[in-house]
Amino acid sequence: MPKNMSKADRTIRIILGIIALALAVFVTTGGWSVLLYIVAAVFIVTSLVGTCLLYIPFKINTNK
């Protein structure tokens, strides 16, 4: 898959993923922590891969 995320977009997602992971571990419990783990995983994986699958159907490309 071609990369469709810019460096700034990837950096923001890494930061948000780390914040979501920290909230899931230290602050929340129950269903909210599971949701935050999922959000953190999606943000971190998409930023490491450089491709956001939701950008494809909307034809968004921040990698210019």
Q: What is the pLDDT of residues 27-44, one digit of tens each?
A: 988 999 999 999 999 999
pTM for the full predicted model:
0.88
The HSE-up count of residue 14 (CA atoms within 13 Å, CB side) is: 11
Q: How many domains does the chain have?
A: 1
Q: Is residue 1 part of a domain?
A: no
3-state secondary structure of 1: coil
* 34, part of any domain: yes
- Report if residue 49 sits inside a domain: yes
pLDDT tier at 4, thresholds 50, 70, 90: very high
Domain hosting 34: range is 7-55
Q: Is residue 38 part of a domain?
A: yes
Rounded CA-CA distance 61/4 in Å is: 5
Confidence bin at 64 (pLDDT 50/70/90) = confident
Q: Is residue 36 part of a domain?
A: yes
What pLDDT does residue 56 have? 93
* Average pLDDT of the segment spanning 56-63: 94
